[in-house]
Chains A and B, each alone.
Chain A
Amino acid sequence: MQILYVEDDKFDQLAFKRILKKIPSISVDIATSHHEMREKVEVNAYDIIIRDIYLNGEKNLDTPGNIPVYFTSGSKPVLEQLSKKSIDSKFLLLKPISLQDVQKIVTDYTNISTEPDFSQIDEWADGDEHFKNELITYYLDEIPSQIQKIEEVALEGDLKKLADLLHAVLTKLRTFGFHDLVNKVSKLEYDARNNDLAISVCNQRLEPIIIALHQTRLTLRTKRIT
């Protein structure tokens, strides 16, 4: 997933890059003016643009191409005004952009919910929050290396191995009730194992899954009781 962040304020640029570091499968490019934004869009395939409404003191609502654009501003009244001008409020972000904002954008892009359903774990924990935290910690520790292996095998184009690795991750996803992700991973596992899936198609379907897997870590971190 490639994001173009259009912002002339250095501090906001750094803050945004810092947030994005938490979701390793997303890359971000920066433009500091409308002109630069247009130039970059012509030569790169961005999935999303996030852009300040005021750049270098000038208001501009340009939306190049068919790329979804999120508008940012430090002023709530400015955003409310835009909302009245029929821009869907989900595309309006009040600065500073938070991790939650980015997570929402990513979920919109992947179309995979990463909200856990703890009913299974709660049954095992039986009110023991320490046990629940331990399971979450195991998840947070183990899932990055599983994601990495999946990415490596996908690059090699070994579908059988990929199916095995996706299968291995399913137990965890089911335990934590990531139902939406379970559906997507199960389907890809099945197709990778049984159908003559082209590598390019497989990787296309894998990309949002990888992003969502990274997102599950962020979601579970916030659920851990300290």
Chain B
Amino acid sequence: MKGLKSILLLEDDAIEVKKVHRALKKLDIPNNLVVCRNGVEGLNWLSSNPDNLPGTILLDLSMPKMNGFEFLDRIKQDSKYRKIPVVVLTTSNHQEDKLRSFDKQVAGYMVKPVRYSEFVKMLKTIKSYWNTSELAY
């Protein structure tokens, strides 16, 4: 949809993708959901869409080819992408992974499978962030 920032989802599990689609639809969030199955695809998409950078990145940590941490390293080193809020969606409940993610300035960390109510809460927070910081990036 023109004028609205897209949401970039990096996820290789079709069930998780389906759930995100559903939550966006139920909450009437009309932003386009772009799905990439790994970090390499995600970086390629970002570099080929410089005028349409996403409003949020939802990032799985365990992916083939380039995992979530490698992807995070790459985008946080790049001034074009640095300010895009990233929410980590992962099966890992390990303290080490949480700390490592927050060290890389992620906006949120959610352990999968995420409960619907928690996911909705996170999306609402992102929406309010968009409303207040449209010029931030």
Using a CB–CB distance below 8 Å, which chain A residues touch chain B? Answer: 120, 123-124, 126, 131, 134-135, 138-139, 141-142, 164, 167-168, 170-172, 174-175
- The answer to whether A172 and B15 have CB atoms under 8 Å apart is yes
25 contacts between A and B (CB under 8 A): A120-B113, A120-B115, A123-B115, A126-B116, A131-B18, A131-B22, A135-B15, A135-B18, A138-B14, A138-B15, A141-B14, A142-B13, A142-B14, A142-B15, A164-B62, A167-B91, A168-B12, A168-B13, A170-B91, A171-B13, A171-B16, A171-B112, A172-B13, A175-B112, A175-B113
The B interface, classified by DSSP as helix, strand, loop or mixed, is helix
B26 proximity list for chain A (CB < 8 A) = 126
Write out the residue numbers on chain A whose beta carbons fall within 8 Å of the beta carbon of B18: 131, 134-135, 138
A124 touches B116 (CB 8 A): yes
Interface residue tally for chain B (C-beta within 8 Å): 18
Minimum CB–CB distance from B104 to chain A (whole Å) comes to 20
B103-137 vs A: 1/0 string, CB under 8 Å? 00000000011011100000000000000000000
Q: A124: shortest Cβ distance to chain B, in Å? A: 5
Task: Tell whether A168 pairs with B113 under 8 Å between CB atoms, given A124-B22, A134-B18, A135-B15.
Answer: no
CB distance from B81 to the nearest CB of A (A): 26
Residues from 4 to 29 in B contacting A, C-beta threshold 8 Å: 12-16, 18-19, 22-23, 26
